[in-house]
Amino acid sequence: MQKDSNKNNERKNIGRKDDSRKKTVLQKDKQAKKADGQKKTPVKNKPAKKQDYSETKSGKHSGDKRNAAEILGCPVGKKCGGCIYTGMPYEEQLKLKHKKLVGLLGKYGEVKPVIGMQDPLFYRNKVHHVFSWEKGKVKNGIYAEGSHRVIPVKECLIEDKKSQEIIKTIEKLVVSFKIKVFDEDTGYGLLRHVLIRHGFKSGEIMVVLVVADRMFPGKNNFIKVLRKEHPEITTVVMNINREKTSMVLGEREDVAYGPGFIKDELCGYRFRISSKSFYQVNPVQTEVLYDKAIEQAGLKGDETVVDAYCGTGTIGLIASKYAGKVIGIELNPDAVRDARKNAKENKVYNAEFIKGDAGDCMERMAAEGLKTDVLFMDPPRSGSTEKFLKSVLKIAPERIVYISCGPESLARDLKLLTAGKKYAVKDIQPVDMFPQTEHVETVISLSRV
């Protein structure tokens, strides 16, 4: 599902063991969409017999076959186009992902085993459902792959359970309050989408009601009843989207209850998250991913670090205690605002955040001869731009840490970065951020030759 809202609107996307079903999986593997990122101490289970491709942060994957059995029960796994590995044992999923990465990145060095999750279910902290009519009845669910046909979902095995409970309550309230659901064909109706963001460590929950008009009949009572059912909801936002567009969120928002944002903790830092801010959908694996990224950066304490495509500043702020100065670059204004407030709340005084296109900012920095020791880059699934990468080669940082959720675009960008033999790949570490989907995150470090 997706990168995420503000990373080119990242959208979400997740075999059976016998050969015939594997063929089906591999066919669908080419078509699936993007999977729209609390630190847990891994439980030390006995290692599975085959450990070549799956490991947790402690180095071993539990091989819990219960998960595979549960996933077999998903009735819409193949219809939504997201969870295409439904029914496949988790260790097999990791093997498939590793094999794909070796094919794309193996020429640059050893692709390490994919770091898997201890419990690869119900991990998404961001849940989006579409509301629509079907035969005169309200239904909610997700779009079928490549269409705007809504598939009702009673339980999704990758979405946060509490968020799903809240959406079920909203569906009942829509009926009882006689709220008209939006019809894409006629343009008539009010409620279009519901978006839930859940801070797994903080426990805070944001509900975003995406509506076609600011006039929401009985809004206060609606929210009052909703919060009575789910008192853990800390804020409700009305997002107004009148446009005929595939974009979920509109430009204008009204805060109907609470502060209009939630906070959550990641790697010991508190982060403010608004409806449009990019924030990794799997917080458990995000901590693993960021730990690896900081480790690869090899910071000694006096470096100037640039965090490109920085979102709400997560990587940059976490890296700040190991660096001399951090400069974050982000195009989305809401994310930049949140990043600045995050720095203030976490008492980080050696970081600044710039609103702008990463390519433009890096070109300007190159022209001004500004020094960069370490570059973190975490672009959308489509990868970086030629303009950005050429400016990186001009600035020539000592080390580059590239975090990617798109293996194909990563391979393309590495080709440009290593073409002039200015840089060599030093480490390739995949992290499974999106269990049950085809997608995998990879963190790669390059050093200047």
Q: How far apart are CA 103 and CA 52, in angstroms?
A: 16
**Chain centre to alpha carbon of residue 40:** 18
Non-local CB neighbours of 110 within 8 Å, separated by 6+ positions: 428
Question: In a 3-state reduction of DSSP, which class is residue 120?
Answer: coil
Q: How far apart are CA 299 and CA 288, in angstroms?
A: 17
Q: Quick one: residue 235, left, alpha or beta (phi over 0 = left, psi -120 to 50 = alpha)?
A: beta
Place of tokens 């006039």: 215
Alpha helices, DSSP H, located in 191-300: 219-229, 283-297
Question: In a 3-state reduction of DSSP, which class is residue 390?
Answer: helix
Q: Report the residue count for the chain.
A: 449
Catalytic residues: 405
Whether residue 208 contacts residue 273, with contact meaning beta carbons closer than 8 Å, is answered with no
Q: Quick one: residue 330, left, alpha or beta (phi over 0 = left, psi -120 to 50 = alpha)?
A: beta
Buried b (16+ CB within 10 A) or exposed e, 405-435: bbbebbbbbbeebbeeeebebbbbbbbbbbb
Q: Which residue(s) pair with 181 in the sheet? A: 191
Phi, psi of 445 (to 5 degrees): -110, 140
Buried b (16+ CB within 10 A) or exposed e, 157-183: bbbbebbbebbebbbebbeeeebebbe
Q: How far apart are CA 281 and CA 14, in angstroms?
A: 14
The beta strand positions in 79-231, using DSSP E, are: 114-115, 126-134, 137-143, 150-152, 191-198, 205-211
Q: Which residue(s) pair with 240 in the sheet? A: 211, 252
Q: Which residue(s) pair with 253 in the sheet? A: 239
- Amino acid at residue number 360: D
Please report, in angstroms and rounded to a whole number, the separation of the first and last CA atoms in the chain: 37
- Enclosing H/E stretch for 360: helix 358-367
